[in-house]
Amino acid sequence: MAFAAQGFERVPIVAEYNINTFARHVVTEQQDLHPSARGSFCWLLNGIELACKIIGEEVRRLGLSRAAGSTGTINVQGEEQQGLDIFANKVLMDCLGSRGNVGLLASEENEEPIVMIEHPEQGEYIVMFDPLDGSSNLDVNVSVGTIFSVYRRAGAHGKALVEEVLQTGRNQIAAGYALYGSSTVIVYTTGQGVHSFTLDPAVGTFVLSHSDMKMPAAGHIYSVNEAYADSFPPYCRRFLHWLKSSDEAYRLRYIGSLVADFHRTLLKGGIFMYPPTSFFPEGKLRLMYEANPIAFLAEQAGGMATNGTGAILDVVPGTLHQRVPLFVGSTQEMTKLRAFIDRPLKV
């Protein structure tokens, strides 16, 4: 006997389940921006989403995973590689390499850029990534992430590979990160604001959880590894002193995973800093696949990002793995930092 006859009300499932997934959001955004687009860019971002799902699952089951622990090998950064660093790198290479539209890939784990498709017409995109940021925190179950940055291979003819890759951050057409924390989220921008999606494990898809995110104009949290404070530049030590003696009662929060520290700064405001130190006189974080994508997100969310001299996104890169000082955060704290940089002795 039909539902109606039994007095049950037929519930229109589709209408209520109006979930906005990552894939749907990307396609809708691109259709609005480029109605005649062929979907190639969406297909690329879908590849990044797939890779982050696979990596996230392996991170979740780390204690059970054969990829756990250090491999004893040293990467181009001079860092000991975790098994999951290599796993995540391979997953991204496979997921992006199989898209059919990615020409060049550059990873924190590989010395040189990798050519996937020589011809710029077919391999029209460049993707740079940090496969597993903060991986030194894996064994202690602290949040880690994957950071990505996408460029076009505009005007590639006759250019050496590395020249094609070394574009300023202003040329990014997309950037974002996945954070493998209490939940798995993807945060991304294509220059149309910053949007965050949370993985629904039951459905296995990323669902829109924050759209058009705005970094608070001020936040009473500063984030820096103070263990190195004695070797920070004078302007930075004075700024730190101001933060700690200010009536605004700043609190210190430092996780030691850039993605996790930035995600908190994006949501709660304040400032994250990795200044030059005696050990890393150029700063520790890498311009192309850490600072640039984070800076693009920060500026898109109304925040700011500098290397202490100028905007991160205007830094002209010299080498693929170059390091830069990174200061990123709310306009109030960044403006105060600027004052210390410009007039270091009396502010």
Choices 2-10, 21-29, 126-134, 232-240 (CB under 6 A): range interacting with ligand FBP: 126-134
Q: Are residues 196 and 185 in contact, defined by beta-carbon separation less than 8 angstroms?
A: yes
Alpha-carbon distance of 60 to 50, in angstroms, equals 15
Choices 2-10, 33-41, 128-136, 297-305 (CB under 6 A): range interacting with ligand FBP: 128-136
**CB 334 → ligand FBP: shortest distance, Å?**
18
**CB 108 → ligand FBP: shortest distance, Å?**
6
| 3-state secondary structure at position 110 | coil
Alpha-carbon distance of 182 to 20, in angstroms, equals 21
Nearer to ligand FBP, 41 or 289 (CB): 289
Among 89, 135, 146, 184, binds ligand FBP (CB under 6 A): 135
**CB 244 → ligand FBP: shortest distance, Å?**
18
Q: Are residues 322 and 287 in contact, defined by beta-carbon separation less than 8 angstroms?
A: yes
Choices 18-26, 46-54, 133-141, 311-319 (CB under 6 A): range interacting with ligand FBP: 133-141
**CB 268 → ligand FBP: shortest distance, Å?**
17
Phi and psi, residue 217, nearest 5°: -65, -20
Handedness of CA 126, 101, 51, 193 (dihedral sign): positive
Q: What x/- string results for residues 34 through 73 when contact with ligand FBP is judged by CB under 6 A?
A: ----------------------------------------
Cα–Cα separations (whole angstroms), residue 250 to 44, 121, 170, 245, 295: 41, 51, 32, 9, 23
Alpha-carbon distance of 296 to 291, in angstroms, equals 9
Q: What x/- string results for residues 200 through 239 when contact with ligand FBP is judged by CB under 6 A?
A: -------------------------x--------------
Residues 240-259 that bind ligand FBP (CB under 6 A): 256-258
Place of tokens 């990829």: 67
Alpha-carbon distance of 81 to 197, in angstroms, equals 29
Ramachandran assignment for 256, one of left (phi > 0), alpha (psi -120 to 50 degrees), beta (any other):
left
H helix and E strand count, the chain = 9, 15
Q: Are residues 290 and 283 in contact, defined by beta-carbon separation less than 8 angstroms?
A: no
Residues 82-111 that bind ligand FBP (CB under 6 A): 108
139 binds ligand FBP (CB under 6 A): no
Nearer to ligand FBP, 25 or 286 (CB): 286
**CB 76 → ligand FBP: shortest distance, Å?**
11
Among 40, 46, 65, 136, binds ligand FBP (CB under 6 A): 136
Q: Are residues 340 and 306 in contact, defined by beta-carbon separation less than 8 angstroms?
A: no
284 binds ligand FBP (CB under 6 A): yes
**CB 206 → ligand FBP: shortest distance, Å?**
22
294 binds ligand FBP (CB under 6 A): no
Cα 156 to chain centroid distance, Å, stands at 25
Among 21, 40, 79, 332, binds ligand FBP (CB under 6 A): 79
Alpha-carbon distance of 297 to 175, in angstroms, equals 7
**CB 136 → ligand FBP: shortest distance, Å?**
6
Nearer to ligand FBP, 123 or 131 (CB): 131
Q: What DSSP element (H or E) covers 341? A: helix 331-342
Phi and psi, residue 43, nearest 5°: -65, -40
CA atoms within 13 A on the CB side of 190: 16
Size of the site for ligand FBP (CB under 6 A): 13
Among 56, 123, 134, 169, binds ligand FBP (CB under 6 A): 134
Residue numbers at the binding site for ligand FBP (CB under 6 A): 79, 108, 130, 133-136, 225, 256-258, 274, 284
